[in-house]
Structure 1
């Protein structure tokens, strides 16, 4: 299972931390972090990489600022 955390979110970018959790609730490996810019290319990558509930949270901020 993957756990996602939005670490930094503003009108220009977002940083997402991903942690892999096993069936016992233990963390496997090291957290992975990825930043996305609010541009056409990285918006498309965000849509490919992340679940819809994370997309909705990010786009709520990005779209509100019409960047």
Structure 2
């Protein structure tokens, strides 16, 4: 327990993270249209991270349980 209490973490820049996230969101369409297949997969995977499957014929996610 002493190690946990004594660890020091750098403060998180929430304003910077929020601004970066909003800029990325506002540019999402442009990034997708101009991106190669790897970039498109990264974007889709960030939107649908759970069990995304790209099989050459289509893209699907796992069915809801």
TM-score when normalising by structure 1: 0.30
Higher strand fraction (1 or 2) = 1
Q: Which has the larger radius of gyration?
A: 2
TM-score when normalising by structure 2: 0.30
